[in-house]
């Protein structure tokens, strides 16, 4: 009787000890650990001055500078990184500080923007910032399955939040990740697959229409335009799963660019599938660029833009 009682008492103690050891191991290994200033959805844990990405909301623009306007969604906005780490900010820094050129880069990206929202503000932003060049990176938000839309868009990234208990405790995060991975496992998420019945945030026809209207508006405004594709993303993993935000709209992007003879920064070709994970934040459940990824995109954009800047004065 005493032995059975002892077993009954020791069993939960042993389980608790095992959980605590696993928690310690996960913390030491840095599992699912965003920087202190961020929450797991990529928004700031507290108010930050650099949460809005547009440095030039109240600035007066003129023809004295070469003005680049970046239109994008969550990659353009830079969820999970500071403003100075985003590729629009890095591109401006390279052009201003290293090339000493009179260039401004305006980032009007927002995480929840689809191609339709970008189309809606495109002409107005070109006129407001006297744009000489527009960079458009869209298509992945369009592909978000409707049943995951709330998980994806979440709160505004500049809202003040607090870390939840389930986020602070790594064992709970691990269990939650495994549960998510099991839910996503085997899901037919490829829009080009023969059995794709997933209802998406924007249909292929809506995306195509928006991209063509963006291209037409740029031509009518006399503004040069660069489209950017998304790379092929890795499959969701069991311990660090991400939502299946695959972009199969790259064909539409290339088609729109061909239609208006606009150049394309083709990240699908520049970021090989086996290398893409190294450009993404490991602690976020939807794919977002890490600082290395933003530096890569800024560098590739710089290569495309430099030939356009021969007539731009130095500062």
Lowest mean per-residue pLDDT among 92-106, 143-157, 273-287: 143-157
- Tell me, yes or no, whether 176 and 302 share the same domain: yes
Tens digits of residue pLDDT in 7-29: 666 777 788 888 888 888 888 88
Edge-to-edge strands, sheet with 103-107: 103-107, 66-72, 133-137, 224-228, 264-265
Tokens of 214: 């963006």
- How many whole angstroms separate alpha carbon 201 and alpha carbon 117? 12
Q: How confident is the model at residue 144 (pLDDT cuts 50, 70, 90)?
A: confident
- Decide if 17 is inside a domain: yes
Considering the domain architecture, whether residues 7 and 140 belong to the same structural domain is answered as no
For the chain, what is the domain count? Answer: 2
The closest of 13, 143, 122 to 70, measured between CA atoms, is 122
Q: Is residue 87 part of a domain?
A: yes
Q: Domain span at residue 249?
A: 34-309
Long-range contacts of 231-234 (CB under 8 A, 24+ apart): 231/267, 231/268, 231/270, 231/271, 231/273, 231/276, 231/279, 232/268, 232/271, 232/273, 232/276, 233/276, 233/280, 233/287, 234/273, 234/276, 234/277
- Say if residue 20 is in the same domain as residue 161: no
pTM beyond 0.85: yes
Average pLDDT of the residues in 30-48 = 82
Do residues 144 and 232 share a domain? yes
Is position 315 within any domain?
no
pLDDT attached to residue 42: 84
pLDDT digits (tens, 9 = 90+) for 184-234: 765 545 544 444 456 778 888 999 999 999 999 999 999 999 999 999 877
Same domain membership, residue 173 and residue 53? yes
160-178: pLDDT as tens digits: 666 666 667 888 888 888 8
pLDDT confidence of residue 193: 46
> Residue 173 domain-assigned?
yes
pLDDT, tens digit (0-9, with 9 covering 90-100), for 224-256? 999 999 998 777 777 777 776 666 789 999 999
Strand partners, 136: 71, 227
CATH of the domain at 160: 3.40.50.1110
Alpha carbon distance 253, 128 (integer Å): 25
Residue whose C-alpha is closest to residue 141's, from 287, 254, 297? 287
Instruction: Say yes or no: 15 and 117 in one domain.
Output: no
Question: Are 193 and 98 within one domain?
Answer: yes
- Residues 218 and 233 occupy one common structural domain: yes
Mean pLDDT for all residues in the chain: 85
Residues in the chain: 315
**109 domain residue, yes or no:** yes
Residue 314 falls inside a structural domain: no
CA dihedral 245, 217, 104, 81 (to 10 degrees): -10
Share of the chain above pLDDT 70, in %: 86
CA Rg value for the chain: 22
- Specify whether 17 is located in the same domain as 92: no
- Are 25 and 39 within one domain? no
Dihedral angle computed from the Cα positions of residues 36, 38, 41 and 45, in that order, rounded to the nearest 10 degrees: 100
Residue 133 domain-assigned (yes or no) = yes
Q: Are residues 2 and 122 in the same domain?
A: no
Side-chain-facing half-sphere of 143: CA atoms under 13 Å:
21
Pair 47, 156 in one domain: yes
């Amino acid at each position: 009787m005493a032995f059975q009682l002892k077993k009954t008492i020791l069993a939960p103690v042993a389980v608790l000890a095992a959980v605590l050891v696993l928690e310690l191991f996960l913390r030491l290994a840095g599992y699912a650990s965003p920087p202190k200033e961020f929450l797991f959805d990529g928004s700031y844990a507290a108010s930050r001055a650099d949460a809005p990405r547009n440095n030039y909301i109240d600035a007066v623009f003129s023809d004295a500078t070469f003005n680049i306007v970046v239109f994008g969604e969550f990659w353009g906005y830079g969820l999970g990184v500071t403003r100075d780490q985003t590729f629009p900010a890095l591109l401006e820094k390279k052009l201003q500080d290293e090339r000493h050129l009179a260039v401004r880069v305006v980032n009007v990206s927002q995480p929840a923007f689809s191609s339709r929202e970008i189309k809606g503000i495109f002409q107005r932003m070109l006129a407001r910032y006297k744009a000489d060049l527009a960079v458009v990176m869209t298509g992945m938000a369009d592909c978000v399955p409707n049943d995951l839309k709330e998980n994806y868009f979440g709160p505004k990234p500049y809202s003040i939040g607090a870390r939840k208990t389930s986020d602070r405790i790594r064992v709970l995060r691990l269990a939650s990740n495994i549960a998510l991975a099991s839910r996503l496992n085997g899901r037919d998420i490829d829009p080009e697959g023969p059995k794709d019945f997933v209802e998406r945030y924007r249909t292929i026809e809506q995306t195509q229409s928006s991209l063509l209207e963006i291209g037409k508006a740029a031509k009518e405004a006399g503004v040069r335009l660069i489209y950017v594709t998304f790379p092929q993303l890795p499959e969701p993993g069991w311990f660090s799963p991400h939502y299946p935000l695959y972009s199969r709209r790259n064909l539409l992007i290339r088609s729109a660019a061909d239609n208006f003879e606009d150049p394309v920064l083709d990240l699908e070709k520049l970021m090989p599938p086996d290398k893409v994970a190294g450009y993404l934040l490991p602690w976020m459940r939807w794919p977002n660029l890490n600082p290395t990824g933003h530096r890569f995109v800024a560098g590739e954009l710089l290569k495309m833009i430099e030939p356009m800047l021969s007539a731009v004065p130095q500062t």
